[in-house]
Amino acid sequence: MNLIIDVGNTLVKLAVFQGAELIGKIIVEKRDLEKKLSEISQTHPGISGVIVSRVSPANFLWPSHLQRNAKILELSPGIVLPFENLYATPQTLGNDRIALAAAASKMYRDRNVLVIDAGTCITYDFKNKENQYLGGAISPGLHMRFRALNAFTANLPLVELQKDLKLTGNSTITSINSGVVYGILKEIDGVIEEYAAQYDKMVTIITGGDAHFLSINLKNSIFANSNFLLEGLNYILEFNISQ
């Protein structure tokens, strides 16, 4: 049984896997992490492997049970990966992108895979059918674009996402919503089409907080998987334990 700890800027995702099966997932604030780890170690005494991925610092004490009985790994550039990493600056590659590439390797090892993570930023990560990670792209996410329009202009308001899409906005708010949302949809569809033109039989996955909303409005066929990053972290842990 494995415990996955994904530390974000303010929130932490915790997931428990039995083999490749996700059996439990919660999201907590950083301040509650230590308490929740203690609860999980008692609820799941069979945890034998733990992996921690951090995009920001998080200080906590490990429960004594996990310290005694589990192999604890920290995701870092030096960890053994289940794919060949051809990124030119691997030391700068974010943990989230590493985990997504690992999930692509686990589920589609012999396929060309484009993974789109629609969160604070939108990241595009590509793994080819030779199981090589090539890199991708990073662009602003939905809410970052809304905030940018407000921050860098004198009169535009800060708009919240409106899921009732209108191509032609008939107010400032609906015009901003149209511009941001349709701009992202066309960007994603365009990136998918560019990759598909170069790589045959490509699989496209979308994950992240805005994945569901975007996936149902995209033109291209795409698979939404909200747990793809957690599955990738679990695979990296399993891969390292087996070495």
Beta bridge partners of 139: 122
Is residue 59 scored above 90 in pLDDT? no
- Do 218 and 102 fall within a single domain? yes
**182 belongs to a structural domain:** yes
Name the percent of the chain lying above pLDDT 70.
Answer: 100
Is residue 149 scored above 80 in pLDDT? yes
210 a known binding residue?
no
- Do 131 and 20 fall within a single domain? no
- Do 68 and 89 fall within a single domain? no
pLDDT at 44: 93
> Do 206 and 185 contact (CB within 8 A), yes or no?
no
Pairing of strands 113-118, 84-85: unpaired
* C-alpha triplet 149, 152, 155: angle, nearest 5°: 70
Residues 185 and 215: their CA atoms lie apart, in Å, by 9
Last residue of a domain, one of 28, 48, 74: 74
- Do 48 and 90 fall within a single domain? no
Last residue of a domain, one of 74, 109, 136: 74
Domain count across the chain: 2
Parent domain of 88: 84-233
Specify the CATH number for the domain of residue 144: 3.30.420.40
- Do 137 and 222 fall within a single domain? yes
Average pLDDT in the 12-30 region? 95
97 a known binding residue?
yes
Confidence of residue 55 (pLDDT cuts 50, 70, 90): confident
Closest by CA to 234, choosing from 9, 14, 7, 12, is: 14
Provide CB contacts within 8 A for 2, sequence distance 6+: 16, 17, 47, 48, 49, 50, 51, 234, 237, 238
Average pLDDT in the 14-39 region? 94
Average pLDDT in the 208-213 region? 93
**56 belongs to a structural domain:** yes
**243 belongs to a structural domain:** no
Ranking 5-19, 64-78, 182-196, 229-243 by mean pLDDT, the lowest is: 64-78
**114 belongs to a structural domain:** yes
Sign of CA dihedral 172, 121, 133, 207: negative
**How many other CB atoms sit within 10 Å of the CB of residue 37?**
22
201 a known binding residue?
no
96 a known binding residue?
yes
Average pLDDT in the 134-144 region? 97
Residues 52 and 141: their CA atoms lie apart, in Å, by 25
pTM: 0.93
78 a known binding residue?
no
Helix, strand, coil percentages, rounded to 5, for the chain: 40, 25, 35
> Do 144 and 180 contact (CB within 8 A), yes or no?
no
Q: Give me the active site residues, please.
A: 96
Mean residue pLDDT across the chain: 94
200 a known binding residue?
no
**238 belongs to a structural domain:** no
pLDDT at 27: 95
Tens digit of pLDDT for each residue in 102-121? 999 999 999 999 999 999 99
Joined together, the tokens standing for residue 240 give: 């390292």
- Do 90 and 43 fall within a single domain? no
pLDDT at 10: 79
pLDDT at 76: 87
- Do 90 and 116 fall within a single domain? yes
- Do 64 and 97 fall within a single domain? no
Which position has the token pair 């407000």? 150
